[in-house]
Amino acid sequence: MTRGRIGIFLLALLVMAGLVYGFLPQPVPVDVFAAFKGPLAVTVEEEGKTRVMERYVVSAPMSGYARRIDLKVGDAVKRGQVVALLEPARSDALDPRSRAQAAAQASAAEAALAGARENARVAGAEANLARQELARTEALGKSSFISAQAVDLARSNAARTQAAQQAAEYAVNVVRFQLDTARAALALPQSGAAADTLSVRSPVEARVLKVVHQSEGTVRAGDPLIEVGNPETLEVEAEVLSTSAVKLSKGAKVILDRWGGNSLQGAVRVVEPAGYTRVSALGVEEQRVRVIVDFTSPRDAWRRLGDGYRVEASFVVWEGSDVLQVPASALFRHNNGWAVFVAEAGRARLRPIQVGQRSGLQAQVLDGLKAGDKVIVHPDDKVTDGVRIKVR
């Protein structure tokens, strides 16, 4: 064979080898993650807020006029300390028409009082005359100059005139009271006049949390004036879905994050037995349950927290310290169970596994893998059992 033919033959072999290599299936690029043992916690995460355990809303015990409250938020108050002052309700100012009517009523009352006094004077004179007549008649009766019937008539007349005088005096008092009423309607409200005040006191030793009615003004009975409480005694209130609340129990561990400092520890104190409906931001009705959490971290760790601060609460439903786990993104359904693809010698191998607890990102492996096995995360439809793979 000549040298030229040998060259052509070799070139043909190279072309054929290139064609064969070009049509061979290419390795699928994948991402892998090694299974490992470590701590794993299954949590329920909800947003919560802090609140003072025992807060007191001091309300107005009666309707009246509240003076300005000089206390500020954060001020300390003692038990029994006066926190607000209430005056009796002030009268309304009259418009010109109502004032003219009240003045006319006062004038009419003055005239009626004068008439009542004159009637009382007349009744007094008649009563005095009847008493004199009775005295003369009784003297004549003793001397038998007049009959006993005449004496009885004189006594009756004296008693009648006496009663008439008393009724006239009562009528004078009635008209006087009417005059006082008419004059009171004309009196202008005096903002600076001295008035009886009612002292509203703090029920406990605490600090001011909120001044509801700071400026002076009219209040009704039961209107809140000020809120007090001890900010040193804080708790966390979280609204948890009812499907998650059934998994929580008293004493369950809680991790509090995203409040502006390091993670804090807490424990569930109360899972309220009654739920309620709340509409989410997406317009979906949800059944929520309030869960109350106590701080278990030292007081110095959460000293900067105050009433109404936002926190992120992670309720620990389950946790383990030495748990074999893989990323949850590596799992997929297979024959009514779970499976993963394991990277072995450049190929993907299907491996059925038994899954235990699952958190948001990790899953517990009970059987089918061992620590160090490399599993393919986010496998797509190109990854099949036995396919060649290339780790990115």
First to last CA, the chain: 48
Is 367:359 a contact under the CB 8 Å cutoff?
Answer: no
Query: What's 231's DSSP letter?
Result: T
In this structure, of 22-36, 68-82, 99-113, 176-190, the range with the lowest mean pLDDT score is 176-190
Which is more confidently placed, 90 or 350? 350
**pLDDT tens digits, 191-206:** 444 457 888 999 888 8
- Three-state secondary structure call for residue 205: coil
pTM: 0.63
The rounded distance, in Å, linking the Cα atoms of 11 and 16 is 9
> Is the model's pLDDT at 331 over the cut of 70?
yes
Q: Which of 236, 241, 242, 272 is nearest to 254 (CA)?
A: 236
Torsions phi, psi of 363, nearest 5?
A: -135, 140
Q: What is the predicted pLDDT for the residue at 298?
A: 93
**pLDDT tens digits, 128-147:** 887 888 777 777 777 777 77
Q: What is the predicted pLDDT for the residue at 325?
A: 93
Is 290:223 a contact under the CB 8 Å cutoff?
Answer: no
> Is the model's pLDDT at 392 over the cut of 50?
yes
Mean confidence (pLDDT) of the chain: 85
Is 371:361 a contact under the CB 8 Å cutoff?
Answer: no
Q: Which of 315, 314, 313, 295 is nearest to 305 (CA)?
A: 295
Residue 251's alpha-carbon distances to 34, 169, 238, 268, 317, in angstroms, are 35, 80, 15, 5, 11
> Is the model's pLDDT at 315 over the cut of 60?
yes
The rounded distance, in Å, linking the Cα atoms of 235 and 241 is 19
> Is the model's pLDDT at 179 over the cut of 70?
yes
**pLDDT tens digits, 31-85:** 999 999 999 999 999 999 999 988 889 999 888 889 999 999 989 999 989 999 9
